[in-house]
């Protein structure tokens, strides 16, 4: 069979197309790993008062932005040249949405790093940061598992992440109440409490964006947009399949 044979040409194009789809999925996970590192470093800087580490997180944010733009451009090329349909189209859409949320998670890590620098100047007591450390642990676990569900396109893991986000919300609300109490009892604690509250808000948003990524996994796997559907309803739909 000659290289110019239509079947050979089609097979070559098909393999190249499959490689492009595999590549964008792999690069999403690379971006996710970079974002996880940013979150880890930002939280470490916050809890330990490490301003040098916080500055590094802020500087390194450009790496997240650059990779997000690069993946987005690759997806645009696939849409324009390959004109994917059905499942392949859902994959490209899921990738585009996922990298947007990952870039915004990177922005939240940068915000936490900035709060870390501000808080270091006020020397917060360690017991004021204990619950914040637990919130950070849970939020990081959510993004890690959301990326795992994306890597395997695992609907069950995606649903579990969405359920566990309720725990993150509960810890966040507890921190807000606690810091409000501190501020009312001692106005001198207001700068520290505000920094902790804004940092907690960023961590809560990271949990929300982890849930968004899981929604895209379900969209790809099931062809179903669940943004305005309860988790219970999604589980019932899965049982009917």
Give pLDDT, residue 166: 92
Q: Is residue 185 part of a domain?
A: yes
Q: Is residue 23 part of a domain?
A: yes
CATH number for the domain that contains residue 132: 1.20.58.220
Q: Is residue 189 part of a domain?
A: yes
Give pLDDT, residue 1: 43
Give pLDDT, residue 199: 96
Assess contact for 126 and 241: CB atoms under 8 A: no
Q: Is residue 1 part of a domain?
A: no
CA-based nearest residue to 42, from 135, 109, 96: 109
Count structural domains, the chain: 1
Q: Is residue 11 part of a domain?
A: yes
pLDDT tens, N- to C-terminus, the chain (241 residues): 444 565 564 665 688 999 999 999 999 999 999 999 999 999 999 999 999 999 999 999 999 999 999 999 999 999 999 999 999 999 999 999 999 999 999 999 999 999 999 998 887 777 778 899 999 999 999 999 999 999 999 999 999 998 999 999 999 999 999 999 999 998 988 999 999 999 999 999 999 999 999 999 999 988 877 665 655 566 555 555 5
Q: Is residue 174 part of a domain?
A: yes
Domain that holds residue 229: 6-240
| 3-state helix vs strand vs coil in the chain, percent to 5 | 90, 0, 10
Distance CA 192, CA 189 (A): 5
- Angle, in degrees to the nearest 10, between helices 86-120 and 51-82: 160
Q: Is residue 131 part of a domain?
A: yes
Q: Is residue 168 part of a domain?
A: yes
Cα torsion angle, 172, 173, 179, 183, sign: positive
Give pLDDT, residue 126: 73
């Amino acid at each position: 069979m000659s290289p110019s044979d239509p079947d050979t040409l089609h097979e070559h194009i098909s393999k190249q197309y499959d490689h492009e789809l595999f590549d964008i999925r792999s690069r999403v996970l690379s971006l996710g790993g970079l974002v996880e590192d940013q979150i880890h470093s930002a939280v470490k800087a916050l809890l330990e008062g490490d301003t040098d580490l916080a500055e590094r997180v802020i500087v390194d944010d450009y790496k997240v932005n650059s990779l997000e733009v690069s993946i987005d451009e690759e997806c645009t090329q696939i849409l324009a040249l390959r004109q994917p349909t059905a499942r392949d189209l859902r994959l490209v859409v899921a990738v585009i949405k996922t990298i947007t949320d990952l870039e915004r998670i990177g922005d939240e890590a940068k915000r936490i790093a900035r709060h870390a620098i501000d808080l270091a100047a006020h020397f917060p007591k360690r017991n004021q940061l204990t619950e914040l450390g637990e919130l950070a642990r849970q939020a990081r676990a959510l993004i890690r598992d959301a990326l795992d569900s994306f890597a395997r396109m695992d609907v069950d893991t995606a649903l579990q992440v969405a359920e566990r986000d309720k725990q993150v919300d509960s810890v966040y609300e507890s921190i807000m109440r606690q810091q409000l109490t501190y501020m009312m009892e001692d106005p001198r604690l207001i700068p520290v409490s505000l920094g902790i509250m804004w940092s907690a808000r960023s961590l809560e948003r990271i949990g929300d964006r982890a849930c968004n990524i899981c929604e895209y996994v379900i969209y790809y796997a099931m062809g179903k947009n669940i943004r305005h559907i309860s988790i219970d309803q999604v589980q019932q739909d899965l049982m009917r399949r």
